[in-house]
Amino acid sequence: MVTPFHKHGTIDFNALKSLLDHVIKGKVDFLVVMGTTGESVTLSRDEKRALVDFVIEENENRLPLMLGVGGNNTQEIENTLKSFDLSGISGILSVSPYYNKPQQKGIYQHFKAIAAASPLPVILYNVPGRTHSNMSAATTLQLASDFRNIIGVKEASGNLVQVMEILRDRPKGFLVLSGDDVLTLPMIAMGAEGVISVVANSHPAAFSKMVQMGREGKMDEAKKIHFRLMEYIDLLFQDGSPSGIKAALDIMGICENNLRLPLVKVNKALNNQLRQAMELLNETYP
């Protein structure tokens, strides 16, 4: 989920409630707050606490809630997991360390420490496009085998061979979730369970239906939705994310198009393209 902001920069809780109701109505299976799309790295500790408390209250136990807790300072993450009240949270999504560019051994030790500190199930998040450090299939599989509370991975490497290696060799019950909206259906076709999505902020019903159809083996129907969404998804990422999805949500009237620096709004031409693409989409998926 994105984090809506007022023009002056504070969290827009009314818009957050609108977004929450929108995605739940669209039949998503679970919620993720304070992830990359939520601009979590720009939120203060007090803002994070207020945001989590608000979503827990408004969610009313309708859906499981996952919390993004990650970074490149392992000790700080451990401290957060031990001190942050996790009541009402079902699991942790934790990104592989960024900027430091650790070796695979360092990534393993990082998540070993997180697994030991976390009282909740942990989903790993591999996104080398942001971290500039790929978590290999071997490292993911070792973590999956060694720690019972590491229950899955959000794979956003874009490397389908790596995804297939994880799917082939994973222990029973280990979840593989797509971190790339446009690769979600191909990954489900290979055996992945689902996705942690950006486009589901704006079009949860269509994207959830595609995932459902894919999981049920109804690929012809799933592919129709996939191909219908492809151009729109591409536009969402052309000027960076979450800039694209915030522009889309603004067009829909769900939240204002406000971001925190260093992120800025998409350019006007792209904004117009998003509007046109959404108009076409809404003819099929209102």
Residues carrying an active site annotation: 125, 154
Strands 122-126 and 31-33: unpaired
Termini Cα distance of the chain: 20
- The helix/strand/coil state of 65 is strand
| Token pair belonging to 122 | 């942990």
Strands laid side by side in the 31-33 sheet: 31-33, 65-68, 91-95, 122-126, 150-155, 175-178, 194-195
Burial of 70 (0-12, 13-18, 19+ CB in 10 A): buried
The alpha carbon dihedral of 86, 92, 96, 102 has a sign of: positive
CA nearest 195: which of 157, 187, 126, 238? 187
Beta bridge partners of 33: 67
| Token pair belonging to 20 | 């929450």
- The type of residue at 270 is L
Q: What is the CB neighbour count within 10 angstroms for residue 79?
A: 12
CA distance 172 to 128: 26
